[in-house]
Amino acid sequence: MKRKGKISKLLLKNYLVLYCLTTITFIICFAMILFFIKNDSDRTVNNLNKTLQIMEDDYRKIDASDIIKLGGFIEILDNDLNVIYRKGNVEKYRKNYNKNEFFSLISEDNEIEHNKYKYKYMIEYNDRKAFFLVKALPMDSYNKLINGISDIDTLYIISIAALFYIIISVLSIYFYSKLTAKTFLNPLYILRDGAIKIASGNYSARITLDLDNEFGELTDTFNMMAEKIDSDIIKRISKEKKLASKATIDELTAIYNRSAGMQILKDNFKVAKYMEIPLSICFLDLDELKHINDTFGHAQGDNYIKTAVAIIKNQIREKDVFIRLGGDEFLLIFINTRYEEAEKIWLRIKKSIIKFNEENGYTLSISHGIETFYKNNFNSVNNFLNCADMKMYEDKKKFKLNRKKKKTV
């Protein structure tokens, strides 16, 4: 199926989302800075009012400490404009003001040079006590109070803005990398898991990735490949079964004979080595078959063999291969199966034999030896098979030893 989408469009979408979030965050941060500045401005205006509203009826009790801290001073004038009281850092002590000086003080542009600094003069009149209160502040201190930046200067504001910009930039880079990584990595992980399933022998595995972009096309291609592999394997298995039914089946038991079974073992050994998947085998030997043949005849011995084969067939899986090597020796091949799984299958067989003997008064017994090939732990098929055979003989020794003990008792 042709996909119309492009990964580039998806990345652009991620970028636009991130850009919107970054812009919104920056606006919020900027609004917070303005909010704090406004609050500081309101606070400084209140401080200005507190600094300037100091009138008292008794001018000697006027608290001019805030004005003095800012480098200013106060003077008290009587109705004749004589200076009768002063506080603050005043180097030029005058006794009085003439009318021209006084009118220039109360005019709108009342910046007067004093001690080499420009001062802002503010004058109040006390009606009850009949005196003028002259408040003088350096223009730079007055302007800072009026503009509301007494505590937060320009450099401080720029520093805060720069800090927020750095934080927003770092967060933007982080989240954009996460979004971008998610765009690429999640589909790759799904494709990887599907490939692992195919490599482990699960040829019916398919992946679902509903993306309208190049990853969607790759998904379709992957599923087509898996479908082809699955179809080829089914055909191969079907072909093998047809061939086996003609020339590879043991006549008595209807399972693979030695020549066919050994070829299947060699083929699967090569596949397991190449694919690096486990291959387990179980070497089986029917106990007491020679005794049954010698005592009751070969017909009864054949029945003994067919009974054992029927019980084993009922407990193994469809993909497992069952082989008669000859006489009383058999082999089970467990494809893509670890040792522990093979042991569990054998325990099922063993339980079925015990149950059969209890229900039919039979004495069927089988010795076994399990071995697993994985990551080149055996250098050849013969070595692999011999090790399983040796384990089977160890199990048979235990059987014979237990039988002797029972006879002695």
- Supply the pLDDT for residue 115: 46
Out of 93-102, 191-200, 305-314, give the one with best mean pLDDT: 305-314
Does the pLDDT value for residue 122 go beyond 90?
no
Separation CA 223–CA 277 (nearest Å): 22
Pick 231 or 6 by higher pLDDT. 231
Asked if 253 and 398 sit in the same domain, the reply is yes
- Supply the pLDDT for residue 150: 46
Name the strand (E) or helix (H) holding 249: none
Asked if 139 and 253 sit in the same domain, the reply is no
Separation CA 277–CA 274 (nearest Å): 8
Please state which of the ranges 31-40, 74-83, 264-273 shows the lowest mean pLDDT: 31-40
Asked if 140 and 270 sit in the same domain, the reply is no
**Domain boundary pick from 81, 112, 147:** 147
Q: Is residue 223 part of a domain?
A: no
**Token reading at 4:** 């119309």
* Average of per-residue pLDDT across 2-21: 65
The total of other beta-carbon atoms located within 10 Å of residue 364's CB is 17
**Domain boundary pick from 84, 119, 147:** 147
Separation CA 68–CA 280 (nearest Å): 98
CA angle 289, 294, 299 (to 5 degrees): 70
The radius of gyration of the chain from alpha carbons, rounded to an integer in Å, stands at: 50
Q: Is residue 61 part of a domain?
A: yes
Q: Is residue 205 part of a domain?
A: no
Residue-number span of the structural domain to which 125 is assigned: 54-147
Q: pTM for this one?
A: 0.43
pLDDT band at residue 11 using 50, 70 and 90 as cut-offs: low
Q: Is residue 155 part of a domain?
A: no
Cα separations in angstroms, 107 against 102, 111, 148, 211: 9, 9, 24, 77
Q: In percent, how much of the chain has pLDDT > 90? A: 34
> Which of 351, 338, 340, 279 shows the shortest CA–CA distance to 312?
351
Q: Is residue 201 part of a domain?
A: no
Burial class (CB in 10 A: 0-12, 13-18, 19+), 254: middle
The CATH number linked to 131 is 3.30.450
Please state which of the ranges 1-5, 329-333, 364-368 shows the lowest mean pLDDT: 1-5
Question: Within its chain, how far is the Cα of 224 from the centroid?
Answer: 30
What b/e string do you get for 325-357 counting C-beta neighbours within 10 Å, with b at 16 or more? beebbbbbbbbbbeeeebeebbeebeebbeebe
Asked if 268 and 383 sit in the same domain, the reply is yes
Question: Within its chain, how far is the Cα of 30 from the centroid?
Answer: 33
Asked if 272 and 382 sit in the same domain, the reply is yes
* Average of per-residue pLDDT across 376-386: 94
Pick 151 or 262 by higher pLDDT. 262
Does the pLDDT value for residue 338 go beyond 80?
yes
**Domain boundary pick from 120, 147, 174:** 147
Q: Is residue 224 part of a domain?
A: no
Task: Supply the mean pLDDT for the chain.
Answer: 81
Separation CA 135–CA 121 (nearest Å): 6
Total number of domains in the chain: 2
Q: Is residue 116 part of a domain?
A: yes
Does the pLDDT value for residue 400 go beyond 60?
yes
Phi-psi region of 200 (alpha: psi -120 to 50; beta: other; left: phi over 0): alpha
Residue type, 317: R
The CATH number linked to 358 is 3.30.70.270
pLDDT tens for each residue of 55-83: 898 999 998 888 888 888 999 999 999 99
